[in-house]
Amino acid sequence: MNLYRNHSCLFIIPALIAFFFLQSPTHAQTADKGRLPGGGKEERPQASREDPVEDDRIEQLKAKVEQLESLVERQQRLLAEMEGRLRKIEGTKTPAALVTSSLKSEATVLAQPESESRGPEGIEHEAGVLRNTVRGQDDSAMIAGWDKDGHAFLRSADGDFETSIIGYGQIDFRAYQSGDHPPNTFLIRRARLGIEGKIFRYFDYRIQGDFADRESAALRDFYVNVHRIEKFQLRFGQFKEPFSQENLHPASALDFVERSLVNALTPDRSPGIMASGVFNKGVFEYYAGAFNGKGILEPNDNGTPENVVRLRFAPWKKSNLSWAKGLAFGGAYAQGREVDGLSVRGQTESRSFTFFNSVPVNGKIIRANAEMSWMLGPASIRAEYDQTNQEREGLGPAGADLPGVVAKGYMAQLTYLLTGETKPDGKLVTPKHNLFSSENGRTGLGAWELKLRYSNLQISDGTANANRAGSFYFGTNWYLNSFVKHQLDLGFERFKDPLRTPNPGDRGFFAVLSRVQLTF
């Protein structure tokens, strides 16, 4: 009996039942299989209802029907289990070759000829072989493809293990008004490559390096994140301290070529540990961590870590108010200690001129931040205030304390997508129509975005060395597709001290920044 070759197992049970009734004594008494020449019915010997041989035969048929029903139920449960596992794989498409291979292997097991002498043990053995075969395929199969963020990935069929290849490159051109600044130049601003993924579902990891940075170590991120529930996660390794929404946005998703002036006041990556959590799918977020606070791969030079706390609220995220759903605000506080270190430095957004040189500091360092963002369909509004206070203990004559360094800065920006896409928060824009795509006889032009930003930074050490700078940048972002974008920033930078500018005596300065970025 070939039970599963043509997927007809559900039709065999009715057939066997019909066969049972055709062979039963009741049917034998009423069946009219032929007539005598005189028109009477042909007489056949009648089987007794009490015949023990017939009773045994009926019981055997019933047992076979029950065995078949049990086997069908097992198969259905296995298929349901496989479908459930596939549904767990979100944001991906299972390659057709994998599905075809799995189905063929399963059909090979199910299509084995059934031995007429096989009893319940044989049926149970076949079901066990089927289960082991399916499990073996799940354990050894590997799914490959592109995830919803456009990264190439490898994933185990059960979803417990995953590795994605991540990376991007940024090629800049920078031009400046004549004066005391670097020459106009092309620049490989970033060239980052890494992998990220998960182990046993709840352990996330990320390793990323930058091969274009000539001033520091290549390693950027290296951490493990224990992610059992959204409300409480633990992260160990080197990563960004949770301070400033602008700094926490990935460099690949920046709205401008460079971050604003106030970014000079924020801590960046450092070895450390952090606890974090998300409630109600982003309505409330918290972050709390302890870090060395001295920069990439740098050890702590004193016994005091830099402690950071950050809170963020989006109270209307789950509401039906379309204008309020994208509003979020929050703040952060950090405290650490510098021993014979250097203060913050004032550098323009174009990275072409330093208007405040670092001075020696010693003692406590305190940072504070307030931030907000408002996503309104194709538009976005962001604003941020940052302040850093650094003590200068024992650095004066005869070991006296000097006035501390106080740095304050703020920024505000606006972007608007002219082509109608929805602006994502912290991610690249996906155009409705990619460049060169052809739909309904029209050629796609990608997504186009207008932008403008103002930022201001003042730094004072209690002496005439204090200075302030402000900058106004505007321009366009052109998203050719989900992986390639072009940015053009036109900037006006202005300084308080006319003698400490790229053109002494002229407080204003003009710069052009352009970038082509490839993300994968």
Q: pLDDT exceeding 70 applies to what percent of the chain?
A: 78
Give dist(CA 110, CA 7) in Å, integer: 9
Please report the pLDDT score of residue 236 as a whole number. 98
Across residues 209-222, what is the average pLDDT?
Answer: 90
Q: Above 50 in pLDDT, residue 440?
A: yes
Between the CA of residue 500 and those of 216, 347, 350, 509, what are the distances in Å?
28, 12, 16, 12
- List the one residue out of 281, 385, 270 whose CA is nearest residue 330: 385
- Residue pair 501/353 in contact (Cβ under 8 Å)? The answer is yes
Q: Which two tokens stand for residue 232?
A: 């409480």
Choose the weakest-confidence range: 108-117, 228-237, 286-295, 300-309.
108-117
Q: Looking at per-residue confidence, does 82 or 342 come out higher?
A: 342
Mean pLDDT of the chain: 83
Across residues 127-152, what is the average pLDDT?
Answer: 66
- List the one residue out of 495, 519, 499, 488 whose CA is nearest residue 509: 495
52-88 helix and 120-140 helix, angle to the nearest 10 degrees: 10
Give dist(CA 256, CA 169) in Å, integer: 15
Residue 371 — left, alpha, or beta (φ > 0 → left; ψ -120 to 50 → alpha)? beta
Please report the pLDDT score of residue 53 as a whole number. 62
Task: Band the pLDDT of 129: cuts 50, 70, 90.
Answer: very low
- Residue pair 180/502 in contact (Cβ under 8 Å)? The answer is yes
**Tens digits of per-residue pLDDT, 217-255?**
799 999 999 999 999 999 999 999 999 999 999 999 999
Q: Above 60 in pLDDT, residue 11?
A: no
Please report the pLDDT score of residue 139 as a whole number. 54
Please report the pLDDT score of residue 52 as a whole number. 61
As a dihedral over the C-alpha atoms of residue 195, residue 199, residue 201, residue 204, rounded to 10 degrees, the angle is -50
Residue 451, classed as helix, strand or coil, is strand
**Tens digits of per-residue pLDDT, 408-435?**
999 999 999 999 999 999 899 999 999 9
Task: Band the pLDDT of 59: cuts 50, 70, 90.
Answer: confident
Residue 412 CB contacts under 8 Å (≥ 6 apart), including other chains: 381, 382, 383, 384, 453, 454, 455
Choose the weakest-confidence range: 217-221, 439-443, 475-479.
439-443
- Give the residue extent of every domain in the chain: 9-33+43-143, 160-519
Residue 43 CB contacts under 8 Å (≥ 6 apart), including other chains: none
Q: Looking at per-residue confidence, does 61 or 199 come out higher?
A: 199
Task: Band the pLDDT of 368: cuts 50, 70, 90.
Answer: very high
- Residue pair 215/189 in contact (Cβ under 8 Å)? The answer is no
Please report the pLDDT score of residue 442 as a whole number. 76
Please report the pLDDT score of residue 259 as a whole number. 98
Task: Band the pLDDT of 181: cuts 50, 70, 90.
Answer: confident
Helices (H), 115-197: 120-140
- Residue pair 306/289 in contact (Cβ under 8 Å)? The answer is no
Task: Band the pLDDT of 439: cuts 50, 70, 90.
Answer: confident
Across residues 177-197, what is the average pLDDT?
Answer: 92
Task: Band the pLDDT of 157: cuts 50, 70, 90.
Answer: confident
Please report the pLDDT score of residue 443 as a whole number. 82
Q: Which residue has the tokens 């408002």?
A: 374
Task: Band the pLDDT of 366: cuts 50, 70, 90.
Answer: very high
Total residue length of the chain:
520
How many Cβ atoms from other residues are within 10 Å of residue 29's Cβ? 11
- List the one residue out of 300, 245, 237, 305 whose CA is nearest residue 271: 237
- List the one residue out of 63, 59, 53, 57 whose CA is nearest residue 122: 63
Task: Band the pLDDT of 123: cuts 50, 70, 90.
Answer: very low
- Residue pair 222/206 in contact (Cβ under 8 Å)? The answer is yes
Please report the pLDDT score of residue 197 as a whole number. 96
Please report the pLDDT score of residue 387 as a whole number. 98
Q: Which residue has the tokens 């206070």?
A: 389
- List the one residue out of 490, 486, 489 whose CA is nearest residue 515: 486
Please report the pLDDT score of residue 51 as a whole number. 63
**Tens digits of per-residue pLDDT, 298-323?**
999 998 999 999 999 999 999 999 99
Give dist(CA 170, CA 186) in Å, integer: 11
Residue 409, classed as helix, strand or coil, is strand
Q: Above 50 in pLDDT, residue 48?
A: no
Q: Above 50 in pLDDT, residue 24?
A: no
Across residues 108-133, what is the average pLDDT?
Answer: 46
Top-tier CATH class for 160-519: mainly beta
Between the CA of residue 97 and those of 101, 113, 249, 271, 365, what are the distances in Å?
6, 27, 38, 43, 58
Give dist(CA 428, CA 409) in Å, integer: 27
Which of 6-20, 75-89, 352-366 has maximum average pLDDT? 352-366
